[in-house]
Amino acid sequence: MSIRAVLFDVFGTLLDVQSVWARADQLFPGNGAQLARLWREKQLEYTRLRTISGRYVSFTRVTEDALQFACDALALPLDAAARGMLMHEYTQLDPYPDAIPSLKKLEQAGVTIGVLSNGDPGLLDDVLHGAGLADYFDIVLSADQVHAFKTAPAVYELGPLTLKHPASEIVLVSSNAWDAIGAKWYGYVSFWVNRAGGPLDRLGERPDAIGKSLDDAAGFVLQSVKKQEK
């Protein structure tokens, strides 16, 4: 295994989306958790249906549609102000506490670092700058470039195409098991950040490594890089 670069997923992996759920509970007291769950579920569902059917719209649009559906389903009144507040929260996410230390370690080791996200370029630019992470990345790859969402092969293909290394020499780090498995299916070395310690999805494939934190992920990448230097 000869590792040349690492690509991170963004939402939920580098950036903590908890603040969105907290805002949801502020706006709809007692309903925040249920709204957040349904919103997230529908957001993913819509990315997949649109990808399968070739009906791409931006991640921001999908996120807003999913929010509207979730509020419809839970009979929560979503006015323009509430919608604006929740969508804005999405552009203002905090990094996980171990994000910057992990990126620093990788940078110091000379590893090429990037992100590969479903988010559209405008949203990615906003959130990565807002979280103080932008300077760590050599490349920012967005599903929008190919008008499909993960786990479409066309999305994962952006890594090898842009980095000019085969996927087997790139580690993809994601907190979504399905993303880590999708990347592995494509040919990446993949790392699942399993913060909650949940069971692995049963898709007939396993990530190459599993840990509990971004620090674990950075450790895995550095170890893989060192091995090849020996």
Is there binding between residue 198 and its own copies (CB under 8 A)?
yes
Is there binding between residue 87 and its own copies (CB under 8 A)?
no
Is there binding between residue 186 and its own copies (CB under 8 A)?
yes
CB of 87 to its own copies, least distance (A): 14
Nearer to its own copies, 109 or 154 (CB): 154
Nearer to its own copies, 51 or 224 (CB): 51
**Per-residue x/- marks for its own copies, 13-52, CB under 8 A?**
----------------------------xx-xxx-xxxxx
CB of 204 to its own copies, least distance (A): 7
Give bridge partners of residue 173 from the DSSP assignment: 8, 191
Nearer to its own copies, 30 or 198 (CB): 198
Cβ-based neighbour number of residue 80 at 10 Å = 7
Beta strands in 90-188 (DSSP E): 94-95, 112-117, 139-142, 170-174
- Taking the alpha carbons of 185, 186, 188, 192 in that order, is the dihedral positive or negative? negative
| CA 43, chain centre distance (Å) | 13
Instruction: Report phi then psi at 33, rounded to 5.
Output: -65, -45
Measured CA to CA, the distance from residue 69 to residue 66 in angstroms comes to 5
Whether the CB-CB separation of 222 and 105 falls below 8 Å is answered with yes
- H or E stretch including 218? helix 214-229
Query: Which letter does DSSP use for residue 112 in this model?
Result: E
**Per-residue x/- marks for its own copies, 46-85, CB under 8 A?**
x-xxxxxxxx-x-------xx-xx--xx------------
Cβ-based neighbour number of residue 102 at 10 Å = 27
Question: Site for its own copies (CB under 8 A): which residue of 29, 80, 135, 202?
Answer: 202
- Known catalytic residue: 9? yes
Binding segment (CB under 8 A) for its own copies, from list 17-25, 107-115, 161-169, 176-184: 176-184
The letter for the amino acid at 80 is A
Q: Tell me the catalytic residues.
A: 9
State the residues that interact with its own copies by CB under 8 A: 41-42, 44-46, 48-55, 57, 65-66, 68-69, 72-73, 151-153, 178, 181-182, 185-186, 198-199, 201-205
